[in-house]
Amino acid sequence: MRKILVTSALPYANGSIHLGHLVEYIQTDIWVRFQKMQGNLVYYICADDTHGTPIMLMAEQENITPEILVKNIHIEHAKDFEDFHVNFDNFYSTNSSENKELSENIYRALVKNNKIFEKEIEQFYDTDKKMFLPDRFIKGECPKCRAKDQYGDSCESCGATYNPTDLNNPYSVLTGLSPVKKKTKHYFFKLSECSNFLSKWTKLDTLQKEARNKLDEWFKAGLSDWDISRDAPYFGFEIPDAPGKFFYVWLDAPIGYMASFKNFADNNKLSFDDFWKNNSDTELVHFIGKDILYFHALFWPATLEYSGYRKPTKIYAHGFLTVNGEKMSKSRGTFITARSYLDNIKNPNLLRYYYASKLNDSMEDIDLNLQDFSAKVNSDLVGKFINIPSRTSGFISKYFENKLVPIENIEDKKARDLILGIINIKDLVLEHYESRFFSKLIKLLMTQVESLNEFISQKEPWVLAKKEGQHKVNSDLHQICSTCLHAFRLVSIFITPVIPELTSKIALFFNESPYKSFSDIETEANEINKYEHLMQRLDLKDIEAMIVTKK
């Protein structure tokens, strides 16, 4: 039995969960559910990322404290995740006593290991707001291509990266005023000294090949020391022995993984050290977006190494979500929140299935084409998958008292081969889950479903049902329909991590508890309950309503 601690990146507490976020949480949740159905001990941990200047300013705009703001956002996020069946073992907050203590202890360990130094730097300062401006609160002309209204860290027009002080004609996003340059002392982590360690660590099969290649580019360019401090006013944790200086959010945010698990461990009498220090028989797996690879594959392992904690076993990075082939856009109505989806389309199984059909083990972007989404879920889930019990269960109820023919008593070789064929793909199913190649998994399972539908069409049970009174006809009808339902049940077990709510209803149809293990394929159902409609077709007007909501 494997012991695995799994995390998803922490959602920032300044806005709603949207469909782009859900790519990661659904991907992780599918993988976690698969591991649990394998019988492994798995804890899925997450938290809201609650610190930083944007949170502080948003609270100020709403005339509430940052603490109240992040508490309200946390309630909203938790409900969205729950309704999409993202099943965290603990969904916590970085604004916690556990995170404060861990962040301070890790910082002190880094100081003790001579990995922190102090340096005077020059930053932009808004004289009206009386605060230093983070990169994203400064705009100006790109120093490379002269594009206007570019942020203080990178140009969206030419892709150049630079320091905020390199901008031409800079202005404060907050006030529109030209900021002044002002000197201040900051604390830095000596990332440049960690190159040898990180170069070796990143070659330990922890990362995808694409991620390793990206890191090689960064190593060749040379690693820069990391500014881990911010000046007051700032919503976050004050740095020990440094009044008016606060930990940069990217220092305490990943420590939030540890803090969330510590909170969970303390409440469930588990050993924190078993997963974060004594890691001989435990795994630590991070799921992240490719945009935060630098933080998770460089800053984070270096921080852990020089503060006495274990490093991640695996870091799985995924690509971005586009909608209709383009970046999500509020003006186009394609910046869609989780709640807007749920209010209009309602069924989370549809999005979970569609994302799974697109996801693989790479960092490639995936596209949510809304017309394809509608066509695919209607074709696969309604037209093919749910079509099986819809076309066969009524005969079992009407003529055979809801009883199924045991698999061993099914005489038709083709029928038995259909069932055995599904049982025999178990190893391949598990392989696709483990490798996160969910698109291959869906294709494999849908191939079985298509074969079942072909079998039904060939055998025409509705024709046999009209020939009542003939013992052989009734026997054939019973076996044909039982074959299809046995096979349907097996596919349902295999696809449970993807669409758990739907397969829970399917388990109830077979008079069973929700499927918790892949070993459930080794048993069989003896009877069914009366079939009730399991899923409705997705109507394009629901998608249109979802889009209109966001315009």
CA proximity to 229, closest of 208, 243, 214: 243
CB of 382 within 8 A of CB of 528? no
CB of 191 closer than 8 Å to CB of 303: no
- Would you mind telling me the total number of residues written for the chain in this entry? 551
Kindly indicate the confidence band of residue 548, based on its pLDDT and cuts at 50, 70 and 90: low
Q: Which of 314, 325, 425 is nearest to 361 (CA)?
A: 314
Which residues, listed in sequence order, are joined to residue 123 by a DSSP beta bridge?
182
Q: Give yes or no for residue 494 having a pLDDT over 80.
A: yes
137: closest CA among 175, 108, 92? 175
Angle between helices 438-459 and 387-400 (to 10 degrees): 40
What's the pLDDT tens digit per position in 5-14?
999 999 999 9
Could you please report the per-residue DSSP string of 146-192? --SSEESSB-TTT--B--GGG-EEEEETTT-PPPEEEEEEEEEE-GG
pLDDT in tens, 266-283: 999 999 999 999 777 999
Over residues 465-485, mean pLDDT: 81
The set of residues, in sequence order, having a beta carbon less than 8 Å from that of 482 and lying 6+ positions away, is 396, 404, 405, 410
The torsion angle over the Cα atoms of residues 401, 402, 406 and 411, rounded to 10 degrees, is 70
pLDDT for 470 equals: 59
Nearest to 188 by CA among 125, 238, 251: 251
Q: Could you give the domains of the chain?
A: 3-107+248-348 (3.40.50.620), 387-522 (1.10.730.10)
pLDDT at 473: 59
Residues 6+ apart with CB under 8 A from 48: 10, 11, 12, 13, 70, 73, 74, 77, 91, 92, 93, 94, 95
Task: Please tell me the predicted confidence (pLDDT) of residue 471.
Answer: 54
Q: Which long-range contacts (CB under 8 A, 24 or more apart) does 300-303 make?
A: 300/254, 301/198, 301/201, 302/189, 302/191, 302/194, 302/197, 302/198, 303/106, 303/110, 303/189, 303/251, 303/254
State how far the alpha carbon of 63 is from the alpha carbons of 58, 60, 67, 75, 129, in Å: 9, 5, 12, 19, 16
Distance between start and end Cα atoms, the chain: 49
Q: What percent of the chain has pLDDT over 70?
A: 98
Given a cut of 50, whether residue 358 has pLDDT beyond it is yes
Taking a C-beta distance cutoff of 8 angstroms, is the pair 439, 363 a contact?
A: no
pLDDT at 353: 98
Q: 543 phi and psi, to 5 degrees?
A: -65, -45
Residue entry with tokens 């758990």: 500
Q: Strands of 138-141's sheet, edge to edge?
A: 150-151, 138-141, 168-172
Lowest mean pLDDT among 226-235, 457-466, 471-480, 483-492: 471-480
Residues 78-93 have pLDDT tens digits of 999 999 999 999 999 9
Whether residue 206 has pLDDT greater than 60: yes
Q: Tell me which range, 135-144, 163-172, 383-392, is most confidently predicted by mean pLDDT.
A: 383-392
Looking at residue 524, the DSSP 8-state letter turns out to be -
Q: What is the pLDDT of residue 327?
A: 86
pLDDT band at 549 (very low <50, low <70, confident <90, very high): low
Q: Cβ(289)–Cβ(297) under 8 Å?
A: no
CA distances to 164, 232, 258 from 130, rounded to whole Å, are 18, 10, 34
**Are 520 and 493 within 8 A, CB to CB?**
yes
Mean local confidence (pLDDT), 519-536:
94
Angle of helix 471-495 relative to helix 500-509, nearest 10 degrees, comes to: 150
CB atoms within 10 A of CB 212: 14
- At 551, the pLDDT band (50, 70, 90 cuts) reads very low
pLDDT digits over 294-303, tens only?
999 999 999 9
Task: Calculate the alpha carbon distances from 240 to 76, 80, 105, 108, 539 in Å.
Answer: 33, 36, 10, 8, 57
Cα 150 from Cα 170, distance rounded (Å)? 9
Whole-angstrom distance, CA of residue 75 vs CA of residue 82: 11
> Would you tell me how many other CB atoms lie within 10 Å of the CB of residue 224?
10
Average pLDDT score, the chain = 94
